[in-house]
Structure 1
Amino acid sequence: MGWSRNRNYKSAVSDWNQSLLNTWNYLESNKRNNLFVCEYKKLFSGNDNYFYFLLNFLEIEENKNMYIYYKSITKDWDRFKQREKIIDKDKLAYIEENSNYFLRDKILQITAHLIE
């Protein structure tokens, strides 16, 4: 499941929407206790505050090697982000029209107060 499945953007959108629905159903059935929804872009853009918040939320003690590794996997974010600009316009339109951003935003609002 996911983007790697044949690199099919329509399947990726469907999988993403399904994962949002699964997350929402979990949140609803578990009364939103002890859950933080991590935003990929915030974490992998090299946002140190977000990284440290996540460690704290998970009650993980940070060590020097962990931070060095984090910086190594986030150092190419700007180059990675540039790839978004080369997505075919028709594919991008499909993604924009069919992605459930409304549900994504509802899910993110539930845990947003934790990082403010």
Structure 2
Amino acid sequence: VLVTVGGSGKRCWMISLHLAPFKFYPNQVRTHLELMGAALREAPSLHALPPPRVVIGGDLNAELHEVAMLQRECATLGGALARVVSPGDTGLSADFSKPECIDHLFISPGLRLVDPLEL
């Protein structure tokens, strides 16, 4: 969704994702991210000046090394977006036996983290 921030009128795309586990469905995850990126690029608001900021967050069902790979491969998560570092694990493995870092947050240039992320 496209929102405005406070009374400034600055615009920001807020995007929530819940992806299939990358280790089992890498092609589906890549396709999902490519479709999201295409939709953002085609949005008329992105061609306005200044362009809106972007916040992408959610359950990516991907470990840190998998997210790093996706950032290299997919322009939607790579490029200008910065991953906000989590202070620790954010979820559990599929069998609930161990903690994992599977939830992630990305922000575009011009945005900054005001308070540390606590989950």
- TM (normalized to structure 1)? 0.34
Could you say which structure has the higher strand fraction? 2
Higher relative CO (CA 8 A, sep ≥ 6), structure 1 or 2? 1
Larger radius of gyration: 1
- TM (normalized to structure 2)? 0.34
